[in-house]
Amino acid sequence: MNENASVKNPVNLRLPDGSVRTFDGPVTGTTLASVIGPGLLKAALAIKVGGELWDLNREIEADADVSIITKRDDDGLELMRHDAAHIMAEAVQELFPGTQVTIGPVIEDGFFYDFARDKPFTEEDLEVIEKRMHEIVKRDENIIREVWDRDDAVAYFKKIGELYKAELIEAIPAGELVTIYRQGEWLDLCRGPHLPSTGKLGDAFKLMKVAGAYWRGDSKNAMLTRIYGTCWRDKKELKAYLLRLEEAAKRDHRKLGREMDLFHLQEEAQGSVFWHPQGYTIWLALEKYIRTRLQGAGYREVKTPQVLDSKFWEQSGHWAKFRENMFVVPDEVPNTEEDGPVLSGDAKLMALKPMNCPAHVQIFKQGIKSYRDLPIRFAEFGCCHRNEAHGALHGLMRVRQMTQDDAHIFCREDQVTEESVAFCALLASVYKDLGFPEFQVKLATRPEMRAGSDEVWDKAEGALEAALKAANLEFEYAPGEGAFYGPKLEFHLSDAIGRTWQCGTLQTDFVLPERLDASYIGEDGNKHRPVMLHRAILGTLERFIGIMIEHYAGKMPLWMAPTQVAVAPITSEADEYAQNVADRLSALGMRVNTDLRNEKINYKVREHSHAKVPVILVVGMREAEEGKVSMRRLGSNENKVMTLDEAAVQLSAEATMPTGN
């Protein structure tokens, strides 16, 4: 051995407070923590070395800026969640030998782990697994990092029957080293880092649910069984989280839709909404609003056929790619005889439109368009049908019959950026009006299966990115997630429990105008292809209303509320006056409901509050004699007595639809 190897260089570690600790050789985070104090040693989970998270027991050999990570740090909590996943895997393999492990990442609020097992886990198994996890925490097994040769690791995991793990390691380039973490008898391939021992996890975790998930996210692969868990710093945080989930469930639009009598769904028309008067009132208010905004932005509204010949969809490319999700209609008079099949099977096929673009192109193609006419913006509240997979349906969020606030902008190539910027601004303004100043933006780029040349895609993606930058919107890329005819911007909003849903979209398309042969006459007298921008702000009225119901927890802004005001007399002697109050407000265009039932005022207030009516006007003989009303706002228990005139002015002003200012 080289003599010099034993000569140690001093290591200087600088702490966040600027102080420096010097050691006469390589040192671990554990040692550092113990030098600083026993309290910190106990709390320490990992160490950050030059911005990188390391295991506490890994030796630091060179000078570095360091900080000890405890569960107070977000990094610490993330480590705990990661370890919770490992500990769950250890528990599962102890309890259910023969189960293979795959991957187990940290997610928002928790973690999951995907297992391969002949018999999927059930909810009942969760209790047992969770109990075993607590035992593993109690055992306080040391978690040890080991560096293995990649090929050795593959061989090892194959030998013990962990074929998925072996496959994962095989994806790592040959000759590279891999890290293995060992806790007790159990070990797993992992990049790390990890807690120093299982005991550091604590007890603030809970297994939440089991679900299926495809290996590597591909439905052609085997289905694994995934167990989701949540993990927090302490019991108090865990409890708060569970409470938060409970509260969020109360805002579920499906529940509120029933409670507020807005809409319903039923088996005979799965995925298609029955809008009730109250719900359709919200719809009409929203539609009116968006129509006004579109008119102000130079759009012209059109209406196109519901059923179109399949040759259209063949031309557009949708038939090839989406036929299995289209409702096909044979163009045939059904057999009315008692016997024989109803349909012959050889009729010409038509289809309910799954989107509006080809129809809008047909309108564009009528007559000859000049470059001077562009841009042309056709808007349609287009009712579309898509035969979505059963498992995809979800209340108003994912339906089979949907109405898009769709529009197509036909423009010259040099107008694409300007139009895109204008669209982004319009969308941001609409979202703000509707109560969503914040939203997520994604730029979805070319998918594997696509139409059009790479050159065209370069142009299309470039235009969208330029628009985002010009509109000063932050965004992230969604590689490979574009439509088959072009890249798209996706504007996402979240529901009550944090699931995100795409609402608005902007798609540049150089392909469909070509396929459907749309052209305009340019300045040079020659035919040119217009660029088509597909765009929707709300996406579908169904989904957007669903999101709004959850966002507002049913307490819609006054201008959208199905019933804006309930007038409730205290005694039947005030009925006539109550009716006068209601008539006065109705004349101002407000949606008013009088409650003349033989019930106590407490009862009426309670009921209208539950129905989320924004304003209750209580009138008794006192008010009737003085021409006043007692106004009670939803969510407040204050009552303001004012004259009917004051109330009328105040409420009708407040019920005015926003206009983007």
Partner RNA sequence: GCUGCUGUAGCUCAGGGGUAGAGCACUCCCUUGGUAAGGGAGAGGCCGGGAGUUCAAAUCUCCCCAGCAGCACCA
Buried b (16+ CB within 10 A) or exposed e, 29-42: bbbbbeeeeeeebe
Min separation Cβ 213 and RNA, Å: 4
**Contact pick of 3, 17, 267, 346 for RNA (by CB under 7 A):** 267
Among 253, 360, 369, 408, the active-site one is 408
Number of residues that bind RNA (CB under 7 A): 80
Which of positions 494-553 make contact with RNA (CB under 7 A)?
497, 499, 502, 505, 507, 534
Q: Which among 463, 467, 471 is positioned nearest to 487, based on CA atoms?
A: 463
Stretch that binds RNA, among 45-53, 263-271, 408-416, 649-657 (CB under 7 A): 263-271
Residue 318 Ramachandran class (φ > 0 left, ψ -120 to 50 alpha, else beta): alpha
SS3 content of the chain, % helix, strand, coil (to 5): 40, 25, 35
d(CA 311, CA 333): 20
- Determine if 602 is a binding residue for RNA (CB under 7 A): yes
From the list 404, 415, 507, 564, the catalytic residue is: 404
Angle at 20 between CA 14 and CA 26, to 5 degrees: 75
Any idea which residue has 């065209």 for tokens?
456
Nearer to RNA, 132 or 255 (CB): 255
Verify whether residue 306 is a known catalytic residue.
no
Cβ-based neighbours of 371, under 8 Å, separated by 6 or more: 412, 520, 521, 522, 523, 528
Among 580, 593, 639, 650, binds RNA (CB under 7 A): 639
Stretch that binds RNA, among 63-71, 116-124, 133-141, 435-443 (CB under 7 A): 116-124
DSSP state of 267: G
Tell which one of 254, 276, 432, 492 touches RNA (CB under 7 A): 254
Query: Among the options 488, 535, 612, 628, which is catalytic?
Result: 488
Half-sphere exposure of 283 (CA within 13 A, CB side): 21
Which listed range, 35-43, 252-260, 333-341, 469-477, lies at the site for RNA (CB under 7 A)?
252-260
Dist. CA 610–CA 278, nearest whole Å: 14
Q: Does 108 bind RNA (CB under 7 A)?
A: no
Nearest approach, Cβ of 61 to RNA (angstroms)? 41
492 binds RNA (CB under 7 A): no
Q: Tell whether residue 307 is a contact of RNA (CB under 7 A).
A: no
CA distance 580 to 461: 60
Q: Which of 306, 325, 440, 580 binds RNA (CB under 7 A)?
A: 325
Q: Is 488 a catalytic residue?
A: yes
Closest CA to 491 of 479, 477, 501: 501
Does 318 participate in binding RNA (rule CB under 7 A)? Answer: yes
Judged by beta carbon, residue 176 or residue 599, the one nearer RNA is: 599
In terms of CB distance, is 148 or 322 closer to RNA? Answer: 322
Name the active-site residue from 360, 377, 442, 534.
534
Catalytic option among 83, 114, 406, 495: 406
Token pair for residue 183?
């806790």
Residue 96 interacts with RNA (CB under 7 A): yes or no: no
Binding to RNA, residues 170-209 (CB under 7 A)? 209
Check residue 225 for interaction with RNA (CB under 7 A).
Answer: yes
Report the site for RNA in 604-633 (rule: CB under 7 A). 605-606, 609-610, 616, 618-623, 630, 632
Query: Minimum distance from CB of 43 to RNA (Å)?
Result: 33
Task: Read off φ and ψ for residue 658, nearest 5 degrees.
Answer: -70, 160
Rounded to 5 degrees, what angle do the CA atoms 338, 341, 347 make?
130
Residue number with CB closer to RNA (49 or 302) = 302
Nearest distance, CB of residue 542 and RNA, angstroms:
13
Looking at the DSSP assignment, which residues form a beta bridge with residue 147? 179
Q: Least distance from C-beta 92 to RNA, angstroms?
A: 15
- Annotated active-site residue in 357, 383, 424, 503: 357
Rounded CA-CA distance 212/121 in Å is 10
Nearest-Å Rg of the Cα atoms of the chain is 32
- The yes or no reply on residue 355 touching RNA (CB under 7 A) is yes
Strand order in the sheet with 177-183: 143-149, 177-183, 186-189
Cβ contacts of 77 within 8 Å, gap of 6 or more: 71, 231, 232, 233
Which is nearer to RNA, 202 or 382 (by Cβ)?
382
Positions in 368-397 near RNA (CB under 7 A)? 386-395
Using CB atoms within 10 Å of the CB of residue 578, give its burial: 0 to 12 exposed, 13 to 18 middle, 19+ buried.
buried
Residue 247 near RNA by CB under 7 A:
no
Cβ neighbours of residue 420 under 8 Å, at least 6 residues apart? 463, 464, 466, 467, 470, 471, 506, 508, 533
Q: Which is nearer to RNA, 200 or 632 (CB)?
A: 632
Q: Is 385 a catalytic residue?
A: no
484 counts as binding RNA under rule CB under 7 A: yes
Q: Which CB, 87 or 605, lies closer to RNA?
A: 605
| CB closer to RNA out of 27 and 443 | 443
Establish if 226 lies at the interface with RNA (CB under 7 A).
yes
Residue 19 or 219: the one with the smaller Cβ distance to RNA is 219
Site string for RNA, 570-599 (x = CB under 7 A): xxxx------------------------xx
617-642 burial by CB neighbour count: b if 16+ within 10 A, else e? bbbbeebbeeebbbbbebeeeeeeeb
Structure-token match 């995100």, residue found: 500
- Indicate whether 120 belongs to the interface with RNA (CB under 7 A): yes
Residue 15 contacts RNA per CB under 7 A:
no
User: Is-catalytic flag, 55?
Assistant: no
- Smallest separation, CB 403 to RNA (Å): 14
The binder of RNA chosen from 10, 296, 479, 635 (CB under 7 A): 635
Q: Find how far residue 547's CA is from the centre of its chain.
A: 10
Active site residue 503: no
**Which phi-psi region, left, alpha or beta, contains residue 120 (left: φ > 0; alpha: ψ -120 to 50)?**
beta
Kindly state whether residue 643 participates in binding RNA, applying the rule CB under 7 A: no
Minimum CB separation from RNA for residue 561, in Å? 14
Q: Please write down the HEC assignment for all residues of 430-453.
A: HHHHCCCCCCEEEEECCCCCCCCC
Residue 212, interface with RNA (CB under 7 A)? yes
Helices 123-139, 74-95: crossing angle, 10 deg rounding:
110
Q: Give the single-character DSSP code of 142.
A: B
For RNA, which residue of 44, 190, 213, 532 counts as binding (CB under 7 A)?
213
Active-site amino acid positions: 357, 386, 404, 406, 408, 488, 534
